[in-house]
A and B are shown apart, each in its own frame.
Chain A
Amino acid sequence: MPDNPPPPASSRRRFLAAAAGAGTALVAGGARARTTPDPHITEIQDWNRYLGDGVAAHPYGKPSKFERHVIRRDVEWLTASRESSVNFTPIHALDGIITPNGLCFERHHGGAPEIDPSKHRLMINGLVEKPLVFTMEDLKRFPGRMNRVYFLECAANGGMEWRGAQLNGCQFTHGMIHNVLYTGIPLKALLDEAGLRTSARWIMPEGADSSAMTRSIPIEKALKDCMVVWGMNGEALRQEQGYPLRIVVPGWEGNMWVKWLRRIEVGDQPWHHREETSKYTDLLADGRARRFTFIMDAKSVVTSPSPQAPLVARGPNVISGLAWSGRGTITRVDVSLDGGRNWTTARLDGPVLPLSLTRFYLDFDWDGRELLIQSRAMDETGYVQPGKAELRKVRGLNSIYHNNGIQTWLVRPDGETENVEVS
């Protein structure tokens, strides 16, 4: 027996395998009775007999090698360069609400730089009483340190799906998202330290990387809940997530959460830089474009079953998914098994926090029927996640960003699951 099973193959390959082995692929009902004893029980296994790894074997632990298929993946044809590109969180293989640090999707515009924290500086300048420079040590001495869980979603998450179902896997259709517990200080503390002039209306965070990323953020948001953070999920930020410092802009487009943060300028107008004009503006059907569409609308997706996580057995099954809203707390998620004709309210489980991923479940018995699975999120403002057709009616097909339409997965009688659209 191979001790290291191959990672799940593409859905196409799995489909062929499933088709070839039909009958045996799906177990009906609960556990099947056996006539011969299970050797995994009756034979003494190596791990039961010999010593395992000592404590010095893995000073920094990694997931089991049997989980090695649970990784970020990219779509090569999307971009011209790997340094200005994106990979996707394997949300189909995760549960709960926290994204492990090594699996948080990456999007950067000039590669992920390696920055020595002892050489990193944060400058605050512009419309302030006293322009200041901070070291990492200064920042970590600030009073008012806090921990908050927030989702970060790239505004282009689902951007490939505007014209129709394209990618088979929620990792690719919805995986430009992660949810992390951040440690840092309120941005307000830093702005107060420098002293805002009364004309201050906007701030502009800037990165230290080779794209020197900049975005304009209204001062109200900066003072309300933005953070400057050095920690994620209890440890230092990962290099690809902005080590040693990034800004957190809760509920708003991921692109605004500038990584490798080295400077914050305060001004009285927005800067209209490349990432808020050429990019991250929403081109509508009439040729006009919305700009400063900062908030991420309520959205949800069933992560299992999904094309990379098909159903493997009839009988009891758990539909699992994620919901989130940039406008506040998720109040309800409904799930449909028949393409949106009838809906059942799902169970929210685990912490239900504002501006955070929220986990939902629907326990159900599958009789092997074809399913068209959808989920629909609602948030505390009363916003109801729209269908794709409703969204296209207002936005057209060219807007790239902010695709929060309802996703449909087709589950076939063999359990194979496919990205489809329904009428």
Chain B
Amino acid sequence: MSRFRKALLAAFAAALVASPAPAKKAGLGRPALPEEIAAWDIDVRPDGAGLPPGRGSVKQGEALYLARCASCHGEFGEGAGRWPALAGGHGSLRGEAPEKTIGSFWPYPTTAFDYIRRAMPYGDARSLSDDEVYAITAFLLHQNDVVAADFVLSKENFTTVRLPNEAAFYGDDREQAERHFWTQEPCMKNCKPDAKITGRARVIDVTPEDGNKGLKVE
């Protein structure tokens, strides 16, 4: 195939994905200013796209974490009460009570940076500087045995850090792995010899008591 035709086909395939034929514009909205985009576009991807300039050490992160995060997430990231744990849980994913933390479960460290920067501390979002987010992320990576105690995390070295569970994730394969849910003709008569009760909610009984409780809610 000629290079030209290949290019044409590629362009055509791309056009199929990205809506064909230049659509008629409504002429609504106005151009976004660079300052406006910079104010809101703070998202970070696993390849490092979106990381702001900056750096922070595990040591700096520890002090910040104890002041701003530990009351909910525990001094070591183990989670206080029912607040989420951020460290630990290694080797728990196949067990009865998997503990999904940054170190035991999350595939990418950029996710922690992005999330802390956009949403934490809970109830006081966007109050950390970029250097502080680097430092706290470094500390949490250290709590999860991913980096050493003297590590300094920066925009430059971020993508060299990998999390141990990255390879465990794969795309939705339900249409193959669960194909039999599509192919079985549903049985209508005498489908099984008997139906015995094997479990009851009443035994565990964690259902909220009654209407009055619901009525209390603001």
A291 adjacent to B170 (CB under 8 Å)? yes
Residue on A nearest B202 in the bound complex, by CB: A418
Is A233's CB within 8 Å of the partner chain B?
no
A75, CB-defined interface residue at 8 Å: yes
Check A71/B207 contact, CB under 8 A, given A193-B28, A212-B118, A283-B93: no
Q: Are A273 and B19 in contact (CB under 8 A)?
A: no
Name the contact of A423 in the complex, choosing from B17, B198, B213 (C-beta under 8 A): B198
Asked if A281 is an interface residue, CB under 8 A from chain B, the answer is yes
**A419-B106 contact in complex given A69-B211, A198-B18, A287-B94, C-beta closer than 8 Å:** no
Could you say which of B18, B28, B47, B190 contacts A200, with CB atoms under 8 Å apart? B18
| Contact between chains at A68 and B215 (CB < 8 Å) | yes
A80 touches B209 (CB 8 A): no
CB 8 Å contact bits of B161-179 with A (1 = contact, 0 = none):
0000000111111100110
Q: Is A7 an interface residue (CB 8 A)?
A: yes
How many angstroms from the CA of A342 to the CA of B187 in the assembled complex? 8
Chain A residues with Cβ under 8 A from B215's Cβ? 7, 68, 71
> A277-B106, A289-B169 are known contacts. Are A198 and B28 too (CB-CB below 8 A)?
no
Q: Is the CB of A394 within 8 A of B177?
A: yes
Q: Is B217 an interface residue (CB 8 A)?
A: yes
Q: Does A278 contact B (CB under 8 A)?
A: yes
What is the chain A residue whose CB lies nearest that of B17? Answer: A219
B18 contacts which of A79, A219, A410 (Cβ < 8 Å)?
A219
B15 interfacial by beta-carbon distance below 8 Å: yes
A288-B43 in contact given A7-B211, A272-B110, A382-B182 (Cβ < 8 Å):
no
Q: How far is the CB of B162 from chain A (nearest CB, A)?
A: 13
Cβ-based interface call for B53 (8 A): no
Residues on the B chain within 8 Å of A200, using CB = 17-18
Q: Does B40 contact A (CB under 8 A)?
A: yes
CA of A270 to CA of B214 in the docked complex: distance in angstroms? 39
The verdict on A328 contacting chain B, using a C-beta distance below 8 Å, is no
Minimum CB–CB distance for B137 against chain A, Å: 13
Give A256 Cβ to nearest chain B Cβ, in Å: 13
- Is B107 in contact with A272, judged by CB distance below 8 angstroms? yes
Q: Which of B169-197 contact A (CB under 8 A)?
A: 169-174, 177-178, 181-184, 186-192, 194-197
Stretch at the interface among A55-63, A146-154, A165-173, A350-358: A165-173
Bound state CA distance, A140 and B202, in angstroms?
A: 50
Chain A residues within 8 Å of chain B by Cβ, number: 119
Query: Nearest Cβ distance between residue B120 and chain A, in whole angstroms?
Result: 10
CA distance A295 to B178 in the complex (A): 14
Chain B CB within 8 A of A66 CB = no
Q: In the bound complex, do residue B200 and residue A418 qualify as a contact, i.e. CB atoms below 8 Å apart?
A: yes
A residues near B100, Cβ cutoff 8 Å:
278, 283
If A68-B215, A71-B215, A130-B31 touch, does A288 touch B208 (CB 8 Å cutoff)? no
Closest to B80 in A: A80
Out of A134, A220, A383, name the residue touching B181 (CB < 8 Å).
Answer: A383
| Distance in Å: Cβ of A24 to nearest Cβ of chain B | 22
Tell me the residues in window 127-175 of chain A with beta carbons closer than 8 Å to chain B beta carbons.
130-134, 138-139, 141-143, 164-169, 172
CB A377 to nearest CB in B, in angstroms, measures 10
Binary interface encoding of chain A residues 324-335 relative to chain B, with 1 for a CB under 8 A from any of its CBs, else 0: 000000000010
Given A263-B40, A338-B195, decide whether A343 and B169 contact each other with a Cβ distance below 8 A. no
A185 → B minimal CB distance (Å): 10
Name B90-132 residues within 8 Å CB distance of A.
93-94, 98, 100, 102, 105-108, 110-111, 114-115, 118-119, 122-123, 125
| A262 interfacial contact with B, CB 8 Å | yes
Please name the residue on chain A nearest to B108 by beta carbon: A272
Give Cα A83–Cα B72 distance, bound, in whole angstroms: 14
* A422 pairs with B195, CB closer than 8 A: yes
Q: What's the nearest-Cβ distance from chain B to residue A324, in Å?
A: 16
Instruction: Name the B residues within 8 Å of A8 (CB-CB).
Output: 210-211
For A421, give its contact among B171, B183, B197 (CB under 8 Å): B197
Residue ID in chain B nearest A223 by CB atoms: B19
Q: Is A313 an interface residue (CB 8 A)?
A: no
Q: Residues of B contacting A141 with CB < 8 Å?
A: 26, 28
Whether, in the assembled complex, B11 has its beta carbon less than 8 Å from a beta carbon of chain A, the answer is yes
Contacts of B98 in A (CB 8 A): 283, 398
**A271-B43, A341-B191 known; A196+B18 contact, CB < 8 A:** yes
Cα-based distance from A16 to B169 in the complex (angstroms): 49
Given A133-B29, A283-B93, the answer on whether A278 and B105 have CB atoms closer than 8 Å is yes
Within 8 A of B (CB), among A246-261: none
| CB < 8 Å neighbour of A123 from B32, B81, B170, B197 | B32
Q: How near does chain A come to B199, taking the closest CB pair, in angstroms? A: 4
Q: How far is the CA of A294 from the CA of B172 in the complex (A)?
A: 8
Contact residues in B for A283 (Cβ distance below 8 Å): 93, 98, 100, 105
Identify the A interface with B (CB < 8 A): 6-13, 68-69, 71-77, 79-81, 83-84, 87, 109-110, 123-126, 130-134, 138-139, 141-143, 164-169, 172, 188-189, 191-201, 204, 206, 210-212, 214, 219-220, 223, 262-263, 265, 267, 269, 271-274, 277-278, 281, 283, 285-295, 297, 307, 334, 338-343, 372, 376, 378, 381-384, 386, 390, 394, 398, 410, 418-423
Other CB < 8 Å A-B pairs besides A138-B29, A292-B171, 10 of them?
Answer: A74-B214, A80-B81, A167-B206, A212-B125, A220-B17, A273-B114, A288-B168, A297-B181, A398-B98, A423-B198
Cβ-closest 8 pairs across A and B: A339-B195, A7-B211, A192-B23, A419-B201, A80-B82, A73-B214, A131-B32, A132-B29
Q: Can you give 16 A-B contacts (C-beta < 8 A)? A: A9-B211, A72-B214, A77-B206, A81-B83, A126-B41, A133-B32, A214-B118, A219-B17, A272-B111, A273-B111, A273-B114, A278-B106, A283-B100, A285-B94, A290-B174, A390-B181
